[in-house]
Amino acid sequence: MSETGIGASVKRREDLRFITGAGRYTDDIDQPGQAYAAFLRSPHARAAIGAIDASAALQVPGVLAVYTGQDLAADGIGDLPCGWMVKSKDGSDMIQPPHPPIAVECVNYVGEPFGLVVAETLQAARDGAEAVAVDFDALPAVVDPASAMQGDQLYAQAPNNRCYDWELGDQAATDAAFARADHVTTLDIVNNRLIPNAMEPRAATGCFDAASGDYTLYTTSQNPHLARLVMAAFVQVAPESKLRVVSPDVGGGFGSKIFVYAEETAVTWAAGKLRRPVKWRAERAESFLADAHGRDHVTKAELALAADGEMLGLRVSTIANMGAYLSTFASSVPTYLYGTLLAGQYKTPAVYVGVQAVFTNTSPVDAYRGAGRPEATYVVERLVETAARELKMDPTALRRRNFIQPADFPYETPVALVYDTGDYEASLNRALEHVDYAGFAARRDAAQARGKRRGIGFSCYIEACGLAPSQVAMSLGAGVGLFESAEVRVNVTGSVTVITGAHSHGQGHETTFAQIVSERLGIPFDSVEVAHGDTSRGDYGLGTYGSRSLAVGGSAIVKATDKIIAKGKKIVAHAFETTDEQIDFTEGVFAERDSNRSMTFGEVAFSAYVPANFPLDELEPGLSEKAFYDPGNFTYPAGAHVCEVEVDAETGVLEIVKFVAVDDFGHVINPMIVAGQVHGGLCQGIGQALCEHGVYDASGQLVTGSFLDYCLPRADDVPSFVVDTTVTPCTHNPLGVKGCGEAGAIGATAAVMNAVTDALGVKELAMPATSEVVWRALSAA
Amino acid sequence: MEVTLTVNGTAHALDVPDNMLLVEVLRERLRLTGTHVGCDTSQCGACVVHMDGCAVKSCTVLAGQADGADVTTIEGIGAPDDLHPMQAAFRECHALQCGFCTPGMIMAAIDLVNTTEHLDEQAVREGLEGNLCRCTGYHNIVRAVLAARDVM
């Protein structure tokens, strides 16, 4: 292995700009003559919009315009669409209420934009927004998802406030499994609402060139091409060919920056109206109110077992909160990213899941790190652990009893997926070594002597990543293909520019993708540049989410490099007057078989651009290749997470004293970066378990609307982690990789809550398990 | 109001509104955009700079309060070919991902090392409690600060 090739912990080239303050995030980029937008946001959870009086606002010095939803609608601006059509079990389409970017007749959650003020300065825009007078007719709000179907009907087309009633699996077979079970474990689970909170608030600057009619949008997007597509095809701000979307450095996303929101749409439109750039940056309070939230499921789950621990059937019924509108991919999260994962790592032969998605007067809920898979893992792993306790079996033994075995792959689950490979016991064994499971009993006794209760919990998760095989996704309702594109441009002097449709907002693609190309082409790491995040630079791309960038985008890059090598062989064969079958390519050298003639990669690049005597009907000049890669299957990262906690029996204060994560991501390109991804995911998973909670009061006001009220984990809330990997290479992509971005957040939450409930000796405990929750549980016991 | 201050060694005299914040002076007037704004409640620490040698959250300092002060921002502590030990440690330990919290985190960490006598892991974790990071889980930030401690 070279120092910069596949498998090396190469230091990130991105870092130099970030550690010196030279990063360029959307809010760092100003345009000449730019104006500033402030959005008018609903103070009500649900209200009819009456008269909007902007006269005072227009008198505020510097205010240029006040726009309402009616202005956008009158200009032909369309609704924000949901890109995944889910069908109910009766075959009917999901219900998609109209979602104008700027509300026109009614507001349906606190913080929903119903207008914007544009001014010469940000202060003037905010002062103008303060001066707008609105007659709202407040209406009763529906807030709680569990009772939403009995609440006031929010949309005429959505009886019972239901978006869809979806099912997956064989209900009769599952019911039969329960009928013959020796034991049934039942849990009522609330998967708490989370607010993503990437550290960079969303921002957008719309620009318009009146001479050409071209629009440019600088925005904090995880997928600029998708933003362009939606804004062109659905919202109809500008034709695709007239809209350039640039996502420069983006300060974290975790899903929340996948979606196409009102604000970037409106500032781009406003730039065209005012013929000058319009900039907006969210205050954190706006991020809390108007970024799509995550999770928020209410579930009843049952596991049927034989007396010896064999898992016979799993039955799950979930109410999923969609919020007030369907965000871009909201409908897919509690269905195809959730129900399909409920087999977990186990051979449970019968699984049935029903999901009712409901509308409430809360911020839209969509994909947040893991997106459906953390919710599935939480259901399965809490059930398995609880079942082990009820059957008085060791929780690791119960899991081993039911693991899908290496010889079983490819393994078709009862919930529509085909796992390609894995070795779940290997990850569990490694995790148990790291945590010293054999020594746990002694540690528990020692803690007891100190007045502490110690508990241990496990989570053996699986996820489906590498979104996605377009054929599968589109047959299930996806409105877009989910391939990825790559272009490998070999420059005349032999350096290489790689353009990827994936987008990096912390993942380090500029480093890892260069490692891949450097190794594949046998050229120095420093000769490879990676570009992304600008629709004017690359072909269509689908961006970064669902741990897809390496498995799908990296595979596209490999495919493009293969084409470069094939073209290079043709060039060399021509030079040597032989056939390209006679040319071998290894470590940057094209060599003729059975001869001593060869050309370096640099020589071939140069000759491609000085085609003095190319047979032009057979061989084009130049050395630049594009590839689109559509995966044959999902990838299936899996692993074992183990958490040990100590609880102070007097105060309820809880400490994670050990956290071990052993993950199988297939081959690893850069172990340093992979470990970093796991650390961050674990912190978010632990945050869900112990402190994060998005709370609305009964009237629909967001109670946790700032970092003072919403507990984002801080450095002293989490431990140092032990992370390790096992490897079963993915069988169907050229790198044998699976994806690592979400695993931490998928696996950790159940491990923590299994440890906490073990320490407390309780069956169920609501998340987040704050000291108060723990103390109350201890007091009740 | 008239404010004079030195930023990264350069003296500036500025006419600013009374309610202008130091972070706005840095980002908007001086175009030093390495200092970030991540919240509106003085919680996240993305805006931490040094004022007269001490870490401050520049979103919570009025420009007028910085009158006469010597301010150092992330741009003033090192360059790509001449990194501050804390910058170097952040890179070496992979203590950043998206980079948004990083400038404030580095400035806070330098102050922490400078002002803490016995800096161990727990002290780093407690000392950085005012700086939020959503990417790293803090694991590698803690490692980086401890590594920089040894060479600062």
Q: Are residues A551 and A429 in the same domain?
A: no
What whole-number percentage of chain B has pLDDT above 90? 100
Chain A positions in Cβ-Cβ contact with residue B16 (cut-off 8 Å): none
Helical packing angle, A262-274 and A224-233, nearest 10°:
60
Residue A381, pLDDT above cutoff 90: yes
Domain range for A617 is 483-629
**B41-70 average pLDDT score:** 98
Band the pLDDT of B46: cuts 50, 70, 90: very high
- Residues 79 to 118 of B: which have CB under 8 A from any A CB? 79-80, 83, 87, 90-92, 94, 96-103, 106
pLDDT, position A481: 85
pLDDT, position A752: 98
Whether the full predicted model's pTM is greater than 0.90, yes or no, is: yes
Band the pLDDT of A480: cuts 50, 70, 90: confident
pLDDT tens, A550-586? 999 999 999 999 999 999 999 999 999 999 999 999 9
In a domain, A422, yes or no: yes
Around Cβ A576, how many Cβ atoms within 10 Å?
18
| Cis peptide bond upstream of A768, omega within 30 | yes
What's CA A298's distance to the chain center, in Å? Answer: 21
Amino acid at A685: G
- Rounded Cα–Cα distance for residues A530 and A528 (Å): 7
Q: Are residues A440 and A496 in the same domain?
A: no
Say if the Cβ atoms of A251 and B100 lie within 8 Å: yes
Q: Does the beta carbon of B120 lie under 8 angstroms from any beta carbon of chain A?
A: no
**Residue A527, domain CATH:** 3.30.365.10
Report all structural domains of chain B as residue ranges with CATH numbers, in order of start.
Answer: 2-76 (3.10.20.30), 85-151 (1.10.150.120)
pLDDT tens, A624-668? 999 999 999 999 999 999 999 999 999 999 999 999 999 999 999
| Sheet hosting strand A113-119, strand order edge to edge | A63-68, A113-119, A35-41, A278-281, A203-209, A214-219, A243-246
Residue A47, pLDDT above cutoff 90: yes
Q: Are residues A456 and A491 in the same domain?
A: no
- Rounded Cα–Cα distance for residues A291 and A256 (Å): 6
In a domain, A561, yes or no: yes
**A232-259 average pLDDT score:** 97
Final residue belonging to a domain, choices A599, A629, A659: A629
**A543-549 average pLDDT score:** 92
Q: Are residues A603 and A652 in the same domain?
A: no
User: Could you give the number of structural domains in chain A?
Assistant: 3
| Sheet hosting strand A638-648, strand order edge to edge | A452-462, A638-648, A654-664, A722-726
Chain A positions in Cβ-Cβ contact with residue B102 (cut-off 8 Å): 18-19
Chain B positions in Cβ-Cβ contact with residue A689 (cut-off 8 Å): none
pLDDT tens, B91-117? 999 999 999 999 999 999 999 999 999
Residue A514, pLDDT above cutoff 70: yes
**Residue A234, domain CATH:** 3.90.1170.50
- Rounded Cα–Cα distance for residues A338 and A189 (Å): 14
In a domain, A315, yes or no: yes
**A63-91 average pLDDT score:** 97
Q: Are residues A204 and A86 in the same domain?
A: yes
Please, what is the average pLDDT of chain A? 97
Report the complex ipTM. 0.98
Say if the Cβ atoms of A21 and B35 lie within 8 Å: yes
In a domain, A594, yes or no: yes
Q: Are residues A439 and A586 in the same domain?
A: no
Angstroms from B81 CA to nearest CA on chain A? 9
| Residue among A517, A420, A532 at smallest CA distance from A466 | A420
pLDDT, position A689: 98
Chain A positions in Cβ-Cβ contact with residue B27 (cut-off 8 Å): 28
- Residues 113 to 152 of A: which have CB under 8 A from any B CB? none
Q: What is the DSSP string of A1-12?
A: --SSSTT--PPP
Distances in Å between the alpha carbon of B110 and those of B84, B114, B124?
9, 6, 11
**A286-313 average pLDDT score:** 98
Q: Residue A21 region, left (φ>0) first, then alpha (ψ -120 to 50), else beta?
A: left
Q: Are residues A321 and A455 in the same domain?
A: yes
Please, what is the average pLDDT of chain B? 98
Q: Are residues A623 and A723 in the same domain?
A: no
pLDDT, position A90: 97
**A329-356 average pLDDT score:** 98
Angstroms from B106 CA to nearest CA on chain A? 8
- Residues 487 to 526 of A: which have CB under 8 A from any B CB? 505-508
pLDDT, position A538: 86
Say if the Cβ atoms of A716 and B126 lie within 8 Å: yes
Q: State whether residue A68 is helix, strand or coil.
A: strand
Around Cβ A615, how many Cβ atoms within 10 Å?
9
Q: State whether residue A180 is helix, strand or coil.
A: coil
Q: Are residues A624 and A637 in the same domain?
A: no
Band the pLDDT of A479: cuts 50, 70, 90: confident
Q: Does the beta carbon of A712 lie under 8 angstroms from any beta carbon of chain B?
A: yes
In a domain, A478, yes or no: no
Q: Which residue of A has its CA nearest to B88?
A: A19
Q: Are residues A98 and A60 in the same domain?
A: yes
**A534-541 average pLDDT score:** 92
- Rounded Cα–Cα distance for residues A190 and A180 (Å): 28
Residue A781, pLDDT above cutoff 80: no
Band the pLDDT of A1: cuts 50, 70, 90: low
Q: Are residues A60 and A130 in the same domain?
A: yes
pLDDT tens, A2-17? 899 999 999 999 999 9
Q: Are residues A134 and A85 in the same domain?
A: yes
What whole-number percentage of chain A has pLDDT above 90? 97
Q: What are phi and psi of A488, to 5 degrees?
A: -115, 110
pLDDT, position A539: 84
Final residue belonging to a domain, choices A259, A290, A321: A290
In a domain, A20, yes or no: no
Cβ neighbors of A573 (< 8 A, separation 6 or more) are: A579, A580, A582, A583
Q: What is the CA radius of gyration of chain B?
A: 15
Q: Which residue of A has its CA nearest to B35?
A: A21
Final residue belonging to a domain, choices A608, A629, A650: A629
In a domain, A192, yes or no: no
In a domain, A523, yes or no: yes
Mutate to test the interface with B, among A17, A19, A286 (most CBs of B within 10 A): A19
Q: State whether residue A275 is helix, strand or coil.
A: coil
Cβ neighbors of A673 (< 8 A, separation 6 or more) are: A9, A12, A507, A508, A511, A512, B94
| Residue among A685, A628, A635 at smallest CA distance from A661 | A685
pLDDT, position A724: 98
